[in-house]
Structure 1
Amino acid sequence: MDWLQHFLRQLEPVQFIYGIVATCGGVARYLTGIADGKAFSLTVFIASAFVAGFSGWMFALLGMSLNMPQSMVFMMAGTGGFMGEQTMKLIAEYLQAKIK
């Protein structure tokens, strides 16, 4: 558990907020699906929120690495959470283009 404590000490408090905004984006997407007639499932809801939080946080980190203004990074976190796994594909494509 030392690695987890080390990792958490390196995070800035605003990065936790990016994760919360990203999770809210994912919840918004899930609720949009419910409004369109999908059935509610608690396990899918929790999994969707977790994936949204992670992918939105990754998208926010990309924005931070590109020196975007903080307001843009917040928008990237929420949008990345809403887009879910599609965000991770976008980040992977961006990184592949930079590595080549």
Structure 2
Amino acid sequence: MAPGGVALGNQTVSPAAASAFFGYMLSTISILAQPAMDLVKLKLSDPKHLALLYFVVNTVAVWVLTRLALIIGVGISAFWWAGVLGGLLMLGQWFVWGALTKR
């Protein structure tokens, strides 16, 4: 995907299967973020604070999932790639939320 930075697929997992499974796992973690916030009684009303929280959740999720590269098939070469991917995911979520809430 990014030369020397992000790898999709390995000897046992195809790139398509790796990206599908990785996307499924990220979606599941992202969906579980809201119930986890409710569980710890964390109330964030400012959209910027919520975006920061999702940046952290996405970055940690990417980092943890890529540590399981032999199973999932997605790997990164450095932690800062987790931050880059977490930021891109957060921006994607931000735009989707904006598009869905504008009525």
TM value normalised by structure 1:
0.43
TM-score scaled to structure 2, two decimals?
A: 0.42
Bigger helix fraction = 1
Task: Name the structure where strand makes up a greater proportion of residues.
Answer: 2
